């Protein structure tokens, strides 16, 4: 068991998959939110200097309940960096800090169009949201099949996260205009939509393939029965990306998370050169490896030990500690 710095290893820019059914959402703040002038900062939950992301806790004027605001500096788009583009015009200013021989250090103030900060607003935010985005220590757990069956699986049953947003996508009740590809087959089909972390630039391409069936929570459930599903996602998902973005499968990172951030099987498709959150070895499992493992051993993922990271303020951490899985923490 080893702890890691949650600011560096626990990504904060995720789609919100927490249960908000106990919160009154009669009128959403998002109906008329046009600026953050009414946001009152109560504190900084996390400040990830590596990913240039900060999570703030606060309230909005004339609105009940707390809010979480996530600010993220976006990646450079290669298209904007070509000759005669907006970065190289008189609209942008340089301020010299110092010069030493051939080296000059400057502050660069680009135009408004080039200074976009990706922003996520969660309101009203529950205590689960506050905990989720707060800085805290993380610990590595080697989850044996026994630990999964005796501790983790019962925990999931009692703490099932809200999946209505997933069902809204699958039932075409929400985000219809964001669908990149759809295979309507009820057994082996899926819908591909952009991940919330993607800003739309190919350089940071990030799509999710969400399966149509609702009986598979994670890789722990996968067997040889699901090989047609997995192969279909890999093949058709890659084909859809190549047709739309001219990126061959060899330039994609295709993987699943364990533990996933929501328990409805989904596959991540990312541009290989984009260092997306959650691609480290304790989190990401390549789809090609998963397929190969199941082809070798049909019930591979019911037999093996799977490492994952748990955070100290999560209920699962307390249960693992009580059962002696995490000692001296």
Q: Which amino acids are annotated catalytic?
A: 266
Three-class HEC string of 94-141: EEEEEEECCEEEEEEECCHHHCCEEEEEEEEECHHHHHHCCCCCEEEE
Phi and psi at residue 38, in whole multiples of 5°?
A: -95, 10
194 annotated as ligand-binding: no
3-class SS of residue 263 = coil
263 annotated as ligand-binding: yes
165 annotated as ligand-binding: yes
101 annotated as ligand-binding: no
258 annotated as ligand-binding: yes
172 annotated as ligand-binding: no
Q: Where are the beta strands (DSSP E) in the chain?
A: 3-4, 39-48, 53-60, 66-73, 93-100, 103-109, 117-125, 138-143, 181-183, 190-194, 206-211, 252-257, 266-271, 284-286, 306-311
A 10 A CB-CB count for 72 gives: 20
Nearest to 29 by CA among 54, 51, 61: 61
Bridge partner residues of 39 (DSSP): 60
257 annotated as ligand-binding: yes
162 annotated as ligand-binding: no
266 annotated as ligand-binding: yes
Helix and strand counts by DSSP (H, E) for the chain: 9, 15
56 annotated as ligand-binding: no
134 annotated as ligand-binding: no
CA 189 to chain centre: 22
175 annotated as ligand-binding: yes
Binding site residues, as ranges?
165, 175, 195, 197, 257-268
Binding site residues for substrate, as ranges?
165, 175, 195, 197, 257-268
């Amino acid at each position: 068991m080893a702890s890691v710095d949650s600011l560096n290893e626990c990504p904060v820019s995720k789609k919100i998959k927490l249960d908000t059914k106990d919160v009154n959402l009669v009128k959403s703040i998002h109906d008329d939110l046009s600026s953050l002038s009414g946001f009152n900062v109560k504190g900084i939950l996390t400040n990830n200097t590596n990913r240039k992301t900060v999570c703030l806790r606060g309230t909005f004027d004339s609105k009940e309940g707390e809010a979480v605001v996530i600010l993220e500096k976006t990646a450079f788009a290669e298209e904007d960096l070509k000759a005669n583009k907006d970065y190289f015009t008189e609209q942008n200013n340089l301020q010299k800090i110092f010069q030493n021989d051939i080296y000059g250090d400057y502050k660069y103030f680009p135009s408004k169009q080039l200074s976009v900060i990706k922003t996520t607003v969660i309101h009203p935010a529950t205590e689960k949201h506050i905990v989720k985005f707060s800085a805290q220590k993380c610990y590595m757990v080697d989850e044996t099949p026994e630990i999964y069956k005796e501790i983790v699986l019962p925990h999931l049953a009692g703490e099932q996260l809200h999946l209505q947003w997933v069902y809204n996508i699958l039932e075409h009740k929400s985000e219809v205009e964001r669908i990149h590809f759809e295979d309507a087959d009820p057994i082996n089909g899926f819908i591909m939509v952009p991940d919330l972390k993607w800003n739309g630039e190919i350089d940071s391409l990030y799509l999710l393939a969400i399966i149509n069936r609702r009986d598979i929570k994670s890789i722990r459930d996968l067997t040889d029965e699901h090989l047609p599903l997995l192969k279909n996602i890999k093949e058709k998902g890659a084909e859809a990306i190549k047709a739309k973005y001219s990126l061959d499968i060899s330039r994609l990172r295709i993987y699943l998370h364990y533990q996933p951030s929501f328990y409805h099987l989904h596959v991540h498709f990312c541009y290989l050169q984009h260092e997306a959150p959650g691609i480290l070895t304790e989190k990401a499992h390549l789809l090609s490896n998963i397929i190969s493992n199941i082809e070798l051993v049909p019930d591979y993922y019911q037999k093996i030990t799977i490492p994952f990271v748990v955070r100290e303020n999560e209920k699962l951490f307390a249960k693992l500690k009580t059962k002696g899985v995490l000692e001296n923490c």
